[in-house]
């Protein structure tokens, strides 16, 4: 790494730019963290004769756009899967309605939250295993999982017409098997 490759003075500006793109503090944190990780892997390609800030901003923007495209593709895939899975379910009418509500509530989650919720809550991955699969720190997995659980609960309360949701999202361990 080059001696003048110091991102520290630019962190606040990068975060503010990330906040503009994501419109959310936590998502801006995740975006800047991911962009800085990419910047570190690309440090050898940085031309030290040029200003660092525009180079970093471009990486934040490209990271955001890549994530947005990926999220849109995954959201469409989940919606298509939800439509296909309906005929496969033959439980009682009450359970079928509840599963339909859960499916709709899950479809409203951002892709990165739905992904972590599935890995940890459904597949039983540890936070560390889920982090390795997704390629983020385990703290990011815990953060996304917490937000996913809260959002899923809100979405379920919205879809249950004022009735308290009977859904309890469990799963996840912070130690390896």
CA dist 53 and 125 (Å) reads 38
**What are the backbone angles phi and psi of residue 126, rounded to the nearest 5°?**
-75, 165
State the fold for domain 1-88: Rna Polymerase Sigma Factor; Chain: A (1.10.1740)
The reply to whether the predicted model has a pTM over 0.75 is no
Q: Beta partners for 162?
A: none
| Spans of all domains in the chain | 1-88, 93-177
Q: How many CB atoms lie within 10 A of CB 35?
A: 24
pLDDT in tens, 96-149: 677 777 778 788 888 888 888 878 887 778 898 888 878 899 899 999 999 988
* pLDDT tier, 31 (very low <50, low <70, confident <90, very high otherwise): very high
Looking at residue 140, what is its pLDDT? Answer: 93
Q: Residues with Cβ < 8 Å from 90, sequence gap 6 or more?
A: 96
Predicted confidence band of residue 37 (pLDDT cuts 50, 70, 90):
very high
Class of domain 93-177: mainly alpha
Phi/psi for 104 (5° steps) reads -65, -40
């Amino acid at each position: 790494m080059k001696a003048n490759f110091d991102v520290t003075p630019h962190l606040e500006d990068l975060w503010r730019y990330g906040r503009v793109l994501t419109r959310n503090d936590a998502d801006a944190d995740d975006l800047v963290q991911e962009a800085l990780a990419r910047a570190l892997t690309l440090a050898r390609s940085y031309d030290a004769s040029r200003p660092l800030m525009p180079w970093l901003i471009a990486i934040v923007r490209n990271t955001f756009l890549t994530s947005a495209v990926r999220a849109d593709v995954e959201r469409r895939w989940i919606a298509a899967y939800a439509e296909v899975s309906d005929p496969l379910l033959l439980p009682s009418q009450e359970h079928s309605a509840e599963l339909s509500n859960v499916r709709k509530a899950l479809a409203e989650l951002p892709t990165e939250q739905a992904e972590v919720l599935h890995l940890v809550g459904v597949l039983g991955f540890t936070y560390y295993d889920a982090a390795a699969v997704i390629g983020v720190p385990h703290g990011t997995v815990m953060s996304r999982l917490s937000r996913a659980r809260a959002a899923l609960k809100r979405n379920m309360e919205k879809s249950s017409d004022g009735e308290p949701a009977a859904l309890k999202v469990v799963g996840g361990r912070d130690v390896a098997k």
